[in-house]
Amino acid sequence: MGQAIIEADGLVRTFGGARAVDGMSLALAPGEMVGLIGPNGAGKTTLFNLLAGTVRATAGTVRIAGTDVTREAPERRIARGVGRTFQIPRPFAEMTVLENVLTGAPSQSGERPLANFLRPGRVAAEERAALDRARGLLDFVTLSRLEDEPARVLSGGQRKLLELARVLMADPKAILLDEPAAGVNPTLLELVIDRIRTLNAEGRTVLLIEHNMDMVARLCSRVVVMAAGRRLAEGNPADVARDPAVIAAYLGDGA
């Protein structure tokens, strides 16, 4: 398995008196694809936020490739190779599709004013490279024909693909995907599944929150189930689906 690319140990996150995440531990090996499932309110997205750094842990630790990043900001975790998407994509509506992807480019020399005067050649070369990469990623998610259109014209499924392309601009080693199938029509869903499978085949680690159990079963060899902020079960999709505790959690109130 090798060293875990992402490792969470005893994560707790409280909001007021409620524990949205209550002692969760999780380890993802390089190149692994894991499904994170559970009823609404189980704490899945909060766990994602803790791993990505958009929410600080009340207790516990997060490590990326062995380095403690518990107190690091999201941009530092992206630089370390962990990207994430959101359940509801919010692109810059009036910017073009291509411009939206370019916002995901990592730090460039041209962002520093003096570099534009002192190293114009380097700035121009970096901008060309970013543009080439962005166009290649738009081709990967089949949005090339829309690169000059404002992002507001995209369907819900296309916005999911746009967000994936933006995240890939930073060339992450691990990607946290928050409900990539939500609001996606069946035809586009097959494309989403294919692209996720391709990214994983390239060696990227994937942690996937998803309610579409057929999609989870097709993509993931391991599934972790959360309920009430805690780990409820873990195993292959077929075994987890038959687990009485998992069935009870989905039929219950999902507290």
Q: What is the Cα–Cα distance from 242 to 19, expressed in whole angstroms? A: 27
CATH no., domain 6-91+171-251 = 3.40.50.300
pLDDT score, position 215: 95
**Cα distance between residue 27 and residue 94, in whole Å:** 39
The whole-model pTM stands at 0.88
CA–CA distance, 68 with 81 (Å, rounded to integer): 14
Given this model, what pLDDT does residue 80 score?
A: 95
- Distance between CA atoms of residues 247 and 149, nearest Å: 45
Q: What is the pLDDT of residue 105?
A: 87
Dist. CA 164–CA 175, nearest whole Å? 9
CA distances from 88 to 132, 152, 161, 215 (A): 27, 14, 12, 18
Report pLDDT digits (tens) over 185-225. Answer: 988 999 999 999 999 999 999 999 999 999 999 999 999 99
Tokens 């009430």 correspond to: 228
Residue 232: phi, psi to the nearest 5?
Answer: -100, -40
Contacts of 157 by beta carbon, 8 Å cutoff, 6+ apart: 183, 184, 185, 188, 189, 192
Q: What is the DSSP pairing of strand 82-84 with strand 174-178? A: parallel
The domain segmentation of the chain, as residue ranges, is 6-91+171-251, 92-153
Q: What is the pLDDT of residue 226?
A: 96
Whole-number Å distance between alpha carbons of 20 and 89 = 23
Q: Tens of pLDDT along 136-192?
A: 999 999 999 999 999 999 999 999 999 999 999 999 999 999 999 988 998 899 999
